[in-house]
Amino acid sequence: MRDTLKSVKDFYGANPLHLLALIGCFALAGYAASRTLANPAWPVMLAWFAGAVIGHDLVVFPLYALADRSLTRALPKLWPRRGAAAPPLVPAVNHIRVPALGAGLLFLLFFPGIIRQGRQTYMAATGHSQQPYLGRWLVLVAAMFAVSAVVYAVRIGRARYRAVTRERVTPTTRPHAPKSARPAPATRARGWYAVAAWALLIAGVFTWGYVLRRSGHSPEDALPPLHATARLLTWQLLPAVGAALLIIVVAPVLTRRLRWTLLVPVGWVAAAGWASALAVSEGTAGLVGPITTPGEYFGGLAAMGDHPLRWLATFTEKAQQYPIHVKGHPPGPMLILWGLDAVGLHGPGWAAALIIAVGSSASVAIAITVRTLAGEELARRTLPFLVLTPMALWIATTMDALFLGVGAWATALLALAATAPDHRRGKGLARAVAAGSLFGVLPYLSYGLLPLFAVPLAVLIVARPRWRVVAAALAAMLVVPAAFTLAGFWWPDGVAATHQAYLTTGGSSRRPYLFFLIGDFAVLGLLTGPAVAYSVPALAGALRRGIGRALPETERAHAVIALLAAAALAGTIALDLAGLTRGEVERIWVPYAAWLTVATALRPAPGRRWLAAQAVTAIVVQAVVHSPW
C-alpha cells in the first residue's frame, strides 16, 4: 500500500490527498457552473464573475500586496532595536494581517447591505432597513482587532517574561541601555497586560452597548457608550494621516534638541494643527458645526441681546427656556461668546478659533506644570503625547476644550507661583493671583469641573508653597464668585436649575447607571489612548512609593507625576459614581484626560511606536465614529 501511494505521489508530484481535494473543488465548480448555465441570466453572472476576477487580480491584489509589503517593512522601524538588529520578541505583523483579512472578507459579505442595494426588496422580505449593516460591520471589525490586540499583548508579555528569566539564568553580553533609562522588565510585562485590559474593556463595553441598544435599553445613543453614530471616512483623513506622520517623525528629535522656550510654542502649534487636521476630515463643518447645532450655546445668544448683566440676573429663572447646553451649564460660556461678539469677532468661526487655541494650549500648560514640579526631562518626555493625543478629536471643537485650557493654565500658574524663589516674590504673588482668578472662573464654566480641583491640590501638596502664595490665590479665586453673586447669579441655584433640566429632559437620567458606570471609563480609555494604558503599572508603582519619603530625585519626580495623574483620575471617579455623567462623557472627560496623559512621562523616551499607536487610535475613531462634538 505504501509503495502504491509512493508511486502515485511520485507520478502526481504531491500528496494524494491534494489530488482528492482538487477533484472535489473541480466537482463543486462544475456543479456551480451547471446551475449557473441553467439560469437564463447566466451571461450577466458570467460578466460579473469575469469583472470580479479582473478587478481582484489586476487592481485589488496589487493594492493589498503593496499594503502588506509596506506593513512588513514599517513595523521593524517602529520597534526599538535591542542589540544587533534583533527582531521583536513576538512579530506584530500577523496580528494585523488576520483581523484585516477578516475585515475585508466581512466587508464583501456586508457590502450590499452597507450600500443599501435592493433596499425595497430587503424591506419587503424582512420588515427591517439596511441601516444597521455598517454599524454591525464596524463592531465586528473592532472586536476582531481588539481580540488580536489582546492576544498580542498576552504573547509579548509572556515572551518578555521568558526572556527576562533566561537572562537571569544565562546573562548575555549584548549591549543594554542604562538601567535608569529603561523600565523594569516586570513593569514592561505589566504594561502590555494593561494594554490588553484597555483593549478588552473598550471592545467589551461597545459590545455590551450594542446589545443594550438592540434590546431598547439605551435608545438615546446610537453607539453607546458614545453619544455618536457610525460612519466611514477614508480619503478625507489624509490630512490627519500626514499631520500624524510628521509629528511621529520629528517630535522625538525636537523634544531632545530644541530649547525649552522654542519647544513650548512649537508644541502648541503642533497640538492645534493635529486637532484641526482631524476635524477637517468632515470639512469646515467639523470645525464650527459642533458649536452651532440647535442645542449648543450659539442658540442662546439671541436671548442675551445687548444686556448680559440683565440676562445673568434672570438666568436661573429662565434656564428651562434655553437650549440644552445653555441650561446644562453655568453662564460663563455664554458670557465668553457674548464678549467675542461685543469686540467685533462675530460668528462661530472666531469662537471655534478661540476654543481650539485655548484647548490645544493646555498641552504646553501641562508640560510647564510637569517641568516646574518634576523636572524638564519628564516634561520633554510627555509633551509629544500631550500633542498627539486621541483626545484631540474633541479639542476641535467642543467648549470643554476651553475649560481644559483654563484649568491647565490655572494649574501651571499655581505651580510657578508655588515654586518661585524668594527674590522673585512679587512675580510669584502675581502668578498666584492670576491662577486664583482662573480657578475662580472654573465653576462658572461647568458644574462638572469641581472635582478637577484635586489637581491643584496635588500641586500644593508637592510644592508646599509659602502661606502668602496660598492666600493670594484664594483671595483672587473668591473675587469671581463674589462678582457673579453681586450680578444676580447664585451658583447653588444654577446647580438646582441644571438638575431640574436633567430630570425633565430625561436623556441622561434614563440611561442605565451600571452600563455607563463602566462604559464611561472605556470612553476615558479612548481619549487617553494605549500609551497611557501601558504607563499605568509604572504610575501605580510610583504612587505606592510615595512623595513624603526620602526618595532619590528621579523616584520623587516619578511620584509627582503619579500624584497629578491620580488626582485627575480621582475626579473622574467622583463624577462617575455620582451618576450625573451618564453618557456624553467624551467631552466631559476632556479636562481630566489631559492630566492622565502625564503618565507617559514615566516612559524612558517618546518612542515612535507609541506615538503611532496614539495617532492610529485617534484616526480610527474619527474614521468610524461621527460625534456631534
| pLDDT category of residue 168 using cuts at 50, 70 and 90 | low
Question: Are 485 and 566 part of one and the same domain?
Answer: yes
Collapse the DSSP code of 606 into the 3-class scheme (helix H, G, I; strand E, B; otherwise coil) and give the result: coil
DSSP 181: G
| pLDDT category of residue 347 using cuts at 50, 70 and 90 | confident
> Residue 179: what pLDDT?
44
| pLDDT category of residue 95 using cuts at 50, 70 and 90 | confident
Give CA separation, 626 vs 232, 279, 301, 388, in Å: 9, 11, 26, 20
Question: Are 94 and 229 part of one and the same domain?
Answer: no
Question: Are 249 and 152 part of one and the same domain?
Answer: no
Quote the mean pLDDT of the chain: 84
296-328: burial string, b at 16+ Cβ within 10 Å, e else: bbbbbbeebeeebeebbeebbeebeebbbbbbb
Quick one: cell of 583?
Answer: 453618557
Least confident residue range of 54-58, 83-87, 420-424, 465-469: 83-87
CB 355 within 8 A of CB 401: yes
Give CA separation, 292 vs 3, 277, 336, 507, in Å: 81, 20, 15, 20
333: which residues sit within 8 A by CB, 6+ positions away? 297, 399, 402, 445, 446
User: Does 552 have pLDDT greater than 80?
Assistant: no
Cα separation of 338 and 356, whole Å?
Answer: 18
Question: Are 294 and 377 part of one and the same domain?
Answer: yes
> Residue 82: what pLDDT?
47
> Residue 473: what pLDDT?
94
629: which residues sit within 8 A by CB, 6+ positions away? 290, 394, 397, 398, 400, 586, 587
Provide the domain count of the chain: 2
Domain finish residue from 121, 140, 161? 161
- Work out the average pLDDT over 63-83: 67
Say what percent of the chain tops pLDDT 90. 35
| pLDDT category of residue 51 using cuts at 50, 70 and 90 | confident
Residue 134 within a domain: yes
Domain finish residue from 120, 144, 161? 161
Give CA separation, 418 vs 455, 465, 468, 479, 591, in Å: 14, 5, 10, 20, 22
| pLDDT category of residue 85 using cuts at 50, 70 and 90 | very low
CB 368 within 8 A of CB 412: yes
247-291 pLDDT per residue, tens: 998 898 899 889 999 999 999 999 999 999 999 988 878 888 888
- Work out the average pLDDT over 94-99: 85
Question: Are 154 and 245 part of one and the same domain?
Answer: no
Q: Which domain holds residue 63?
A: 50-76+88-161
Which residue carries 463602566 as its cell? 518
Residue 175 within a domain: no
Q: What count of Cα atoms within 13 Å lies in the side-chain half-sphere of residue 81?
A: 6
Least confident residue range of 50-54, 110-114, 220-224, 532-536: 50-54
Question: Are 145 and 251 part of one and the same domain?
Answer: no
> Residue 67: what pLDDT?
78
Least confident residue range of 32-46, 394-408, 570-584: 32-46
Q: What count of Cα atoms within 13 Å lies in the side-chain half-sphere of residue 496?
A: 9
Question: Are 356 and 481 part of one and the same domain?
Answer: yes
Least confident residue range of 194-203, 209-218, 409-418, 613-622: 209-218
Q: What count of Cα atoms within 13 Å lies in the side-chain half-sphere of residue 308?
A: 14
User: Does 391 have pLDDT greater than 90?
Assistant: yes
- Work out the average pLDDT over 354-373: 95
Top pLDDT among 296 and 509 is at 296
Cα separation of 60 and 232, whole Å?
Answer: 19
| pTM for this model (two decimals) | 0.74
458-477: burial string, b at 16+ Cβ within 10 Å, e else: bbeebbebbeebbebbeebb
User: Does 126 have pLDDT greater than 90?
Assistant: no
Least confident residue range of 178-192, 414-428, 601-615: 178-192
589-599: burial string, b at 16+ Cβ within 10 Å, e else: bbbbbbbbbbb
Question: Are 560 and 484 part of one and the same domain?
Answer: yes
Question: Are 156 and 243 part of one and the same domain?
Answer: no
**Spatial CA neighbour of 563 closest among 427, 464, 445:** 464
User: Does 525 have pLDDT greater than 90?
Assistant: yes
- Work out the average pLDDT over 79-103: 68
H or E segment to which residue 42 belongs: helix 42-55
Residue 323 within a domain: yes
Residue 421 within a domain: yes
Residue 57 within a domain: yes
Top pLDDT among 334 and 604 is at 334
CB 207 within 8 A of CB 504: no
> Residue 244: what pLDDT?
92
28: which residues sit within 8 A by CB, 6+ positions away? none
Domain finish residue from 129, 161, 193? 161
Q: Which of 114-123, 221-230, 352-361, 512-521 has the highest mean pLDDT?
A: 352-361
265-283: burial string, b at 16+ Cβ within 10 Å, e else: ebbbebbbbbbbbbbbbbe
User: Does 238 have pLDDT greater than 80?
Assistant: yes
> Residue 317: what pLDDT?
86
Residue by residue, what is the 3-state secondary structure of 86-140? CCCCCCCHHHHHHHHHHHHHHHHHHHHHHCCCCHHHHHHHHCCCCCHHHHHHHHH
Euclidean distance between the first and the last CA atom of the chain, given in angstroms as a whole number: 73
Cα separation of 372 and 561, whole Å?
Answer: 11
Question: Are 489 and 604 part of one and the same domain?
Answer: yes
Residue 8 within a domain: no
> Residue 173: what pLDDT?
43
Say what percent of the chain tops pLDDT 70. 90
Top pLDDT among 371 and 81 is at 371
Residue 322 within a domain: yes
Question: Are 244 and 316 part of one and the same domain?
Answer: yes
Q: Is the peptide bond before 293 cis (omega within 30 degrees of 0)?
A: no
Top pLDDT among 363 and 49 is at 363
Least confident residue range of 180-184, 359-363, 462-466: 180-184
Question: Are 151 and 234 part of one and the same domain?
Answer: no
Residue 174 within a domain: no
Q: What are phi and psi of 83, to 5 degrees?
A: 110, -150
How many CB atoms lie under 10 A from the CB of residue 372? 24
Q: Please count the residues of the chain.
A: 629
CB 613 within 8 A of CB 384: no
